[in-house]
Amino acid sequence: MIHLLWLIPTLPFLGALTLVLAGSSLPRRIAAIIGCGSIGLAALITLLIGYEFLTTHTRAYHDVAWSWFAVADLSVGFSFHLDALSLVFLFVITFVGFLIHLYSVGFMHDDEGFTRFFAYLNLFVCAMLLLVLADNLVLLYLGWEGVGLCSYLLIGFWYDEEKNGYAARKAFIMTRVGDTALAIGLFMLFGVFHTLDIQEILTKAPQLWSPGSQTATLIAFLLLGGAVGKSAQLPLQSWLPDAMAGPSPVSALIHAATMVTAGVYLIARMHGIYELAPLAQLWVGIIGAITLLIAGCSALTQNDLKRVLAYSTISQIGYMFLALGIGAWSAAVFHFMIHAFFKALLFLAAGTVIWALHHEHDMFNMGGLRKRMPVVYWTFLTGAGSLAAIPLVTAGFYSKDQILWLAWGGAQGNLWFFVAALTGAFITSVYTFRMVFVTFFGEEKTHVGHHPGRLMNVPLIVLAVLSLAGGLIELPHTLGHVTLMSDLLGPVLPSTVLRAGAESSEIVIQLIAATVALSGVLLAYILYIVKPAVADDIKSSCYEVHRLWYAGWRFDDLYNVLIVRPFVWLSQINKHDVIDRFYAGLVAGTEYFGRTFARTQTGVLRWYIMGITAGAVLILALSLVINP
């Protein structure tokens, strides 16, 4: 079964190809079948391969599709590498991807770009699968850029709107800034190792570098640059909220579950280098910590339902980066998986709400949907609970708790990280339940237009179940002690070392985390259900702060002033190419001299004779002077 690995990315690719070639001439039903079927089959094969992988205790499976290119000592294959890490990603991509495809059939049903949508979506899944399956960094880069392209196409899917196109370009260009760093990192890696094969690099790195080596640190920072761009972390985070211009399934699949976590994958994949570059790894944690705080603050102030979720995604990925930064590799991957479940769920549910209310994005215009849309309400509540890490029942609690615990108790953890993560957790549960209370409670402000059909409800329910039960595969010592996830990842990612003497405090940390999460919910309840006036008071008394947070800490303005405007200005003033002026000047000079000398040709014969005489006299005189 495992030799069918190549089929997993191939199927979505064929799906995309068929849909592109057939174009809009294809009936919707068939387009939907091709679009969902290819991913469905890929998900099925993933399950089968995963089963075989687990039962036969394979450590890694390697498959070369073909040799891509080979020059001198560089040899790059179009080849796949399957291990526990890629398997987890594979599972999330195909399975969540499939559910989102199903949902899209209902969601996009009346859109005229139906076929195009599924073509892009399939292409995206293909690229994402290549990214996580790549055995070398060049193929990874292919997937990396491929998902960037699809993200661009899907954000700008409704291209009639100028601002959607703008958001799409912003996303592509900002991630490409990160990609530049990544590419330079690849050049450096090749300069050192003369290979771009990931496993080879990871084996050779400890032999070549001692911990703290300068080159290793530089490379680790460059890779981090790529990861930061793709995963919307500080300082390249500001594209993600705008990316919400795309259809909701796109936000769910690309900008929550899969693509934005590519940075997490990259760092986890190259963990060997970060272990040799403690400084860079520390910065991964610092970036994660800061990002999760500032994005959380921004999420508190948003009114657009999807923008809240977008900032929340940035913040949650910040948690994953924090986990990576403290060497809690498997905790990061665990949180990635759970986050994929509940965030996809939240986006899909939010998409349903927006769809049902005729594209109303502002949640303060919603309200009272609890009764009108019960399925959406309950599933959304589940997702929200998971996001806010409601203790014991939700999967989000287990995954986030692990990070909180290791931020405190891990050998690389420290008080600052712990405080940041804890504050973040509080903020998270406040904005999450603010969202729930404002949207689903209170009185109804907009009439529900459509009611979602089964195609849209089933994915929600499945994801809701996963957001609850998903946590059961990894339970802390204090509560059942299940370690399926970390056991699975054990052969690939090193386990986290605990600080000496910290073991006993685990239960305390958990209690603190649970209290914080619940108190956040309570605060949201007070502010948005019991005394809404207080919330408005706070808002108006901290107007400036509110505005700053609402605008995402004004990073966009900063980049506009620092980069975008100078670039456009430079480009505009030089539109007619200043270098051409030089040549134009040359031409003008030549013409001027030509005209000047042409004036001596008067046409008067006697002037010419005069000239000849004067010339002859001059030459004679000169010859006398020079050669007497």
Partner 1 sequence: METIAVEYGLVLAGTLFALGLISVLVRRNVIFMLISVEIMLNAAGLAFIVAGARWGQADGQVMFIFIVTMAAAEVSVGLALILQIYHQLKTLDSDAADKMKG
Partner 2 sequence: MILLWMIVILMAGGVLAGIVATWSTVWCRIIALTSVILDTLLIGWIWAGQEVSLQPGATWIAEVNLPWIPSFGISFHLALDGLSLLMLALTFFLGIFAVLLSWNEIQYRTGFFHFNLLWVLAGIAGVFVTLDLFLLYFFWEVMLIPMYFLIGIWGHANRQYAAYKFFIFTQASGLLMLLAILGLYFVHGNQTSVYTFEYSDLLNTPMSADLARWLMLGFLAAFLVKLPVVPFHTWLPDAHSEAPTAGSFILAGLMLKTGAYGLIRFALPLFPGPAVEFAPWGMLLGTVGIVYGAVQAFSQTDLKRLVAYTSVSHMGFVMLGVFAFTEIALQGVVMQMITHAISTGALFVLAGALYERMHTRDILQMGGFWKRTPFMATVSLVFVMASLGLPGLGNFIAEFLTLLGAWPASPVLTAIATAGLVAATAYSLRIMQKIFLGKDSHTHVLPDLSLREKLILVPLAVVIIMLGLFPQRVIDTARATVEISDKQQNTTPVPVRGMLSEKGGNHE
Site residues (CB under 8 A) for partner 2? Answer: 20, 23-24, 66-72, 74, 78, 116, 138, 141-142, 144-146, 149, 152, 156, 159-162, 165, 168-169, 172-173, 176-177, 179-180, 183-184, 186-188, 190-192, 208-209, 213-215, 567-568, 570-572, 574-575, 577, 579-580, 582-583
Least gap, CB of 576 to partner 2 (angstroms): 9
Pairing of β 74-83 and β 482-483: unpaired
Query: How many CB atoms within 10 Å of residue 67?
Result: 11
Query: How many CB atoms within 10 Å of residue 573?
Result: 9
CA angle 331, 333, 335 (to 5 degrees): 65
Q: Which of the choices partner 2, partner 1, none does residue 624 contact, using the CB cut-off of 5 to 8 A by kind? A: none
Interface with partner 1 (CB under 8 A), residue from 208, 610, 619, 622: 610
Least gap, CB of 505 to partner 2 (angstroms): 40
553: alpha, beta or left? (left if phi > 0; alpha if psi -120 to 50): left
- 609 lies in the site for partner 1, by CB under 8 A: yes
Interface with partner 1 (CB under 8 A), residue from 613, 615, 618, 623: 613
Pick between residue 501 and residue 594 the one whose CB is nearest to partner 1.
594
Could you report how far apart the first and last alpha carbons of the chain are, in Å?
A: 106
Helix (H, G, I), strand (E, B) or coil at 474: strand
Q: Which of the choices partner 1, partner 2, none does residue 162 contact, using the CB cut-off of 5 to 8 A by kind? A: partner 2
Least gap, CB of 580 to partner 1 (angstroms): 30
**Max CA-CA distance within the chain?**
120
Pick between residue 107 and residue 209 the one whose CB is nearest to partner 2.
209
Q: Which of the choices partner 1, partner 2, none does residue 483 contact, using the CB cut-off of 5 to 8 A by kind? A: none
Pick between residue 497 and residue 612 the one whose CB is nearest to partner 1.
612
Pick between residue 567 and residue 593 the one whose CB is nearest to partner 1.
593
- 606 lies in the site for partner 1, by CB under 8 A: yes
Q: Which of the choices partner 1, partner 2, none does residue 190 contact, using the CB cut-off of 5 to 8 A by kind? A: partner 2
- 529 lies in the site for partner 1, by CB under 8 A: no
Query: How many CB atoms within 10 Å of residue 511?
Result: 12
Separation between Cα atoms, residue 465 and residue 468, nearest integer Å: 5
Pick between residue 519 and residue 602 the one whose CB is nearest to partner 1.
602
Residues 564-603 that bind partner 1 (CB under 8 A): 597-603
| 500 Cβ neighbours under 8 A, 6+ residues apart | none
**In angstroms, what CA-CA distances link 491 with 262, 329, 494?**
21, 12, 7
Least gap, CB of 625 to partner 1 (angstroms): 20
Pick between residue 507 and residue 610 the one whose CB is nearest to partner 1.
610
- 624 lies in the site for partner 1, by CB under 8 A: no
**Which residues is 482 bridged to in the sheet?**
475
Sign of CA dihedral 417, 256, 231, 302: negative
Q: For residue 104, with 0-12 CB atoms within 10 Å meaning exposed, 13-18 middle and 19 or more buried, which class applies?
A: buried
**In angstroms, what CA-CA distances link 340 with 385, 426, 455?**
14, 20, 20
Least gap, CB of 627 to partner 1 (angstroms): 21
**Residue 273 contacts residue 223 (beta carbons within 8 Å):** yes
- 84-107 vs 28-55: helix crossing angle, rounded to 10: 160
Q: Which of the choices partner 1, partner 2, none does residue 598 contact, using the CB cut-off of 5 to 8 A by kind? A: partner 1
Pick between residue 572 and residue 596 the one whose CB is nearest to partner 1.
596
The binding site for partner 1 (CB under 8 A) comprises 597-606, 609-610, 613
